[in-house]
Structure 1
């Protein structure tokens, strides 16, 4: 069987607050019970002695029950994080395709996020179309991209 993408994890000092942000702004849905993970198996699997992890799993919108997930965990003893940067190697951002970048950006701001850039028109992306896009930050300073495509019709 080929690999199937399942989830991305964000470590947060307040997983419930961050989960509410993704539910309220993007329509993610909670899946399953809150996770409470500890013991030998989680210590060995994470390589973290004394690991205690709690958090939630969210289904990302647009794919129904088979959607990839966003896992938001608190790890006991987690260090303070440096905010993600557009120029820093590693995970740069999560991207959500939206109908209206400004309306969604307004919801991000109302839910405790903040704007990182400004909404711009991409210009024509050959073979794909045009898009409005903007980078913002969630309440934990993770970068979120909003993209609103005006796709061109595929050649016939």
Structure 2
């Protein structure tokens, strides 16, 4: 068996970031909040005295079995710049009905807009409209709308 389970975001303030995704994208918390520590966690992460806190959020448009967005915080985190063209995971994407409204909500909730709203005709697939935004901690999010 193989199943995609979750995407993890490490947050400076997991509660604040989790609230952002709940408010802007309608994500729902599932399962208990996590407060994990112990030798097993240090062995798994390679971080001495590792301690993580956070929760899993059910993403909009998926079943109750996930996948989820896992938002965790460590007491000590490494800060890094994130860019659309950086190597590794770049962004998560949400299809929305009203890009302008969600862009405004992102900004209202502490995020920011990265680029301009653009549209492109993909032939039989439809016309896609896109923009990149950042959550309050700088993680990249692609907003998209399709006209078919």
How high is the TM-score relative to the length of structure 1?
0.91
Match of 1:147 in 2: 144
Match of 2:109 in 1: 111
Gaps of 5+ in 2: none
Greater share of strand: 2
The Cα shift of 1:48 comes to 1.4
Match of 2:27 in 1: 28
Q: 2 CA distance for matches of 1:128 and 1:40?
A: 50
> Cα RMSD (Å) of the superposition?
1.1
Deviations 1:117-151 (A, max 9, x none): 011112x2143111110000000000100000112
Q: 2 CA distance for matches of 1:106 and 1:77?
A: 32
Partners of 1:61 and 1:67 within 8 A in 2: no
How high is the TM-score relative to the length of structure 2?
0.95
Match of 2:67 in 1: 68
Match of 2:9 in 1: 10
Q: 1 CA distance for matches of 2:77 and 2:107?
A: 26
The Cα shift of 1:66 comes to 2.1
Gaps of 5+ in 1: 152-156
Q: How many residues align?
A: 148
Match of 1:154 in 2: none
Match of 1:99 in 2: 97
Task: Extract structure 1 runs of 4+ deviating beyond 4 A.
Answer: none
